Structure 1
């Protein structure tokens, strides 16, 4: 593939302009921004899952996160950054690395539905279509037949029961996560367009995040296989039981980055070039936010005053950031590495007084009216082991995914008008209501849904999206008081700090409304690549972040 870089486009003019440029440099007329632009050789992207903009402002203002404050002092803080309508981890990360919303990237949730797919067991694609796609902790081989997740690396291979099939040019073909994402990623673009580039990433699921490789399947040279739901051999529990245990998991990612900065692979066992684009996800803050207020989790008030667990989690994350930056400085890489700190998603509700947990009233209402199987036998909920990915689920049944949002794939799409009427007739928080009667709630369907997410008739997009009142979680669980996935303000309003070495406009704050999809084209701008090399950027017209959205910034 032809490398498309701006200097390539102007190479015919180089001879004419050399003398002029020399004169401009001698007069100091070349823009300072061009100098800092050329200095970026590496981009480090960090997602502190759950990090709200208010968390950034509060911790910097109170000196609770000195390392993040130093980055902000040397960079740009975007105070009005938002996710593109959905805030689950898949669309949240896809925004950051594809430049697109679910409409182009095609990722709505790690547990979703696709009407065009065939069951994992249907290797000839001759049965019914419609499959509940589950690319999470059970995508690793440890999850086969509902097995215990005993290995940190998920067992070292894909669980064949988690891999559905599709007809591709008449051939029944397995659909791995990298086949499922519809557009390419920054990792693929950088590898194909920067000579000698290397890419790396670490995330929370060992095999479900294979989609980061992009459709080529090879975008990430070093995709760290770490599974947060695996059983810690020391404690015999998984790493999300309490935030201090999650720190141990996140420490693995810190060490992966340090190894990569030191010229090794993520394991530290082999020599490797320092990645051109690399990064990781942290889960500690998310776990602390979800913990019940009664146990010290979440926030103390509507002003984002952190409770004890969130306070501890933010301190941990800032210390981890400090360790990473310190290693960059020690290896003389800080002056050539841009650092972007943000989040895949926030968490809701931070104001505990808004919390409503009436159970999954949305699914119950759909079942009661025969829009989904009245006995709950839809998607893969009816499995032999009780595990979502044991390969025995039903096909062609529709599906509903709920957290603090509801995504509905109807088994009979002709029922859409009737379903919408039923939902609108039951908006209150009183049973069997779905608690979507407030000014910030909505039921999305038809033309508006098509505009946001694409046409459900194509198979991937939900028929209906229900955004309940902020604070509503469709669960009766007593284990957590916050969730994410939807478009509530606390889900979608995120922290975003961009540090570029040698910036002469350091320490500025930008309050323009931006979306996290703008991070991906910004990364390409920093590396002197055309943002439109990303398919989602070209499809959705995504701009780089303000300050990085011009030919020369």
Structure 2
């Protein structure tokens, strides 16, 4: 039974009448998804808006096309400034940007935290926080990732500490996120609600539980970097192998739709809010163009691997929708298909891989240790999460963006001057000399991402020219994490069988943060129950009859 309803049909009609009498155009308040009982959120990581338009136009994603016909397609949806998986998913689940959610990347830095080994919080502060595949116990002491569930518990060497109320306290991923999630709100305000989620890292994604640690009733523990015993390799070695990993998530959804838990072994109510992440497209996009990966041109013509990945994802989507229909749940389920992030560059002619010239500039000029001994770059095992990293040294995280936490914040102006003097795209320059590149710091950075002095926000964010990846990797031609156009412009389709005027296209500029309040409005809950929504003033998506002004 729903316990909290903000807008009733009667109050909406009264409000519309008052505005009409005043000679004003009334915003749509009537709840056009009032029969919704469930929300299914699916992230096809890497899905660009252009991918959606192309595959629907070419009839290569018929199942997604059918959802678009019964819903709304957003052609101008974007991530909120950074496009790594953590801030990308946080946008969808919290309604907040990194400024309020506090998630900038799955590998980041926090000046207020103590090392995992410092259980009394008596040493130096400043820890390189790594919540990825190594957050599971399999990775302890640099161990091999031999189990699909990451070993069944947290790696203690991955969990930093914080002084809270005078007590030195472990900081798990759910403690690290700074705001609540849709899962927590739904469980708290809808009696008997159940929630479920599945993602790519078994323990690093514990943060989706929210600060309570209890937001997700059924959090599937699946680790994409684990070793598949059938092949002896992880699930990222080819996009077709990634399909096998994503199949675990498809089956989890089907099990949940069938009234079971994600494993299919225990009876459970169908979740009120549930969903998953798919990695197949992302892996196909990253694969080198020479091996059939990525795109053929600047018009997003997919190469062979991306073509195969999109076909797989659409077939998987069809299986899930068919199960909803089989169980008579389709008409009561809002289905949202989008992505945490895009991938850059889709135009291979813009690709620049000069190596990590950004980090090299910082090391060469002694802003970070010139020997690379900063953050967890120098550990006993060579593994990021063996607990032996260096404290209070600053950190830099790069792919197609650069996030810089300085070891000495008083050097900020000098560092910026050095970076500005080396913007050239000729190595050792940082390739940030184009019109779409920027070096963000100071007040401009604080207003957008929060105050670095509070410990979590980077001191400097470098967005290089579109197409630049700070790497020398010969196995990847695309990456994500920043705010390049191909990173941030995503596909977004919201579908509901009972939606009037379905099949619409909305070209308004929207952010993926608007998905979270839309989920709550669809379930008759106040969006402002999400703390990030209240802090950032995030509105529900337009065109669905669930927005309010």
The residue that corresponds to 1:301 in the other structure is: 297
Match among 53, 57, 76 for residue 57 of structure 1: 53
The residue that corresponds to 1:171 in the other structure is: 167
Q: Where do 1:525-540 residues align within 5 Å?
A: 525-540=521-536
The residue that corresponds to 2:474 in the other structure is: 478
Q: Is the 8 A contact 2:9 2:31 kept in 1?
A: no
Q: Is the 8 A contact 1:39 1:501 kept in 2?
A: no
Match among 435, 438, 442 for residue 434 of structure 2: 438
The residue that corresponds to 1:28 in the other structure is: none
Q: Is the 8 A contact 1:301 1:352 kept in 2?
A: yes
- The 3 A distance-change label for structure 1 pair 366 and 35 is closer
What is the Cα deviation at residue 5 of structure 1?
Answer: 2.4
Distance in 1 (CA, whole Å) between partners of 2:312 and 2:347 is: 23
| SS of aligned partner of 1:512 | coil
Q: Is the 8 A contact 1:3 1:192 kept in 2?
A: no
Q: Where do 1:254-273 residues align within 5 Å?
A: 254-273=250-269
What is the Cα deviation at residue 385 of structure 1?
Answer: 0.5
The residue that corresponds to 2:64 in the other structure is: 68
Q: Is the 8 A contact 2:400 2:463 kept in 1?
A: yes
- The 3 A distance-change label for structure 1 pair 448 and 552 is closer
Residue deviations 1:320-364 (CA, integer Å, cap 9, x gap): 000000000000000000000000000000000000000000000
Match among 271, 276, 280 for residue 276 of structure 2: 280
Match among 301, 322, 332 for residue 326 of structure 1: 322
The residue that corresponds to 1:25 in the other structure is: none
Residue deviations 1:194-217 (CA, integer Å, cap 9, x gap): 010000000000000000000000
The residue that corresponds to 2:22 in the other structure is: none
Match among 213, 221, 225 for residue 225 of structure 1: 221
What is the Cα deviation at residue 37 of structure 1?
Answer: 2.1
Distance in 1 (CA, whole Å) between partners of 2:170 and 2:547 is: 41
Distance in 1 (CA, whole Å) between partners of 2:543 and 2:68 is: 15
Distance in 2 (CA, whole Å) between partners of 1:34 and 1:397 is: 54
| SS of aligned partner of 2:533 | helix
Q: Is the 8 A contact 1:114 1:459 kept in 2?
A: yes
The residue that corresponds to 1:404 in the other structure is: 400
| SS of aligned partner of 2:403 | strand
What is the Cα deviation at residue 32 of structure 1?
Answer: 11
Match among 33, 39, 57 for residue 35 of structure 2: 39
Distance in 2 (CA, whole Å) between partners of 1:290 and 1:91 is: 20
What is the Cα deviation at residue 38 of structure 1?
Answer: 1.8
Q: Is the 8 A contact 1:243 1:284 kept in 2?
A: yes
| SS of aligned partner of 2:227 | coil
What is the Cα deviation at residue 4 of structure 1?
Answer: 3.8
What is the Cα deviation at residue 548 of structure 1?
Answer: 4.0
Q: Is the 8 A contact 1:40 1:501 kept in 2?
A: no
What is the Cα deviation at residue 34 of structure 1?
Answer: 4.5
Residue deviations 1:475-497 (CA, integer Å, cap 9, x gap): 00101000000000000000000
Distance in 1 (CA, whole Å) between partners of 2:49 and 2:547 is: 28
Structure 2 spans left out of the alignment, 5+ residues: 15-26
TM-score by length of 2: 0.95
Match among 126, 146, 151 for residue 150 of structure 1: 146
Match among 277, 282, 289 for residue 285 of structure 2: 289
Match among 339, 362, 369 for residue 365 of structure 2: 369
The residue that corresponds to 1:242 in the other structure is: 238
- The 3 A distance-change label for structure 1 pair 507 and 146 is same
Match among 197, 212, 216 for residue 216 of structure 1: 212
The residue that corresponds to 1:162 in the other structure is: 158
Q: Is the 8 A contact 2:107 2:132 kept in 1?
A: yes
Q: Is the 8 A contact 1:301 1:351 kept in 2?
A: yes
1:393 paired with 2:389, answer: yes
Q: Is the 8 A contact 1:33 1:503 kept in 2?
A: no
Q: Is the 8 A contact 1:36 1:501 kept in 2?
A: no
Distance in 1 (CA, whole Å) between partners of 2:29 and 2:37 is: 15
Distance in 1 (CA, whole Å) between partners of 2:532 and 2:547 is: 19
Distance in 2 (CA, whole Å) between partners of 1:307 and 1:46 is: 23
- The 3 A distance-change label for structure 1 pair 515 and 552 is closer
What is the Cα deviation at residue 504 of structure 1?
Answer: 1.4
The residue that corresponds to 2:6 in the other structure is: 6
Coordinate RMSD, CA, aligned? 1.8
Residue deviations 1:412-471 (CA, integer Å, cap 9, x gap): 000000000000000001122000000000000011101110000000000000000000
Distance in 1 (CA, whole Å) between partners of 2:214 and 2:288 is: 40
- The 3 A distance-change label for structure 1 pair 175 and 132 is same
Q: Is the 8 A contact 2:138 2:150 kept in 1?
A: yes
Match among 296, 313, 319 for residue 317 of structure 1: 313
Q: Is the 8 A contact 1:186 1:520 kept in 2?
A: yes
Q: Is the 8 A contact 2:136 2:152 kept in 1?
A: yes
Q: Is the 8 A contact 2:437 2:465 kept in 1?
A: yes
| SS of aligned partner of 1:6 | coil
Q: Is the 8 A contact 1:47 1:282 kept in 2?
A: yes
Distance in 2 (CA, whole Å) between partners of 1:284 and 1:346 is: 13
Q: How many residues align?
A: 535
The residue that corresponds to 1:105 in the other structure is: 101
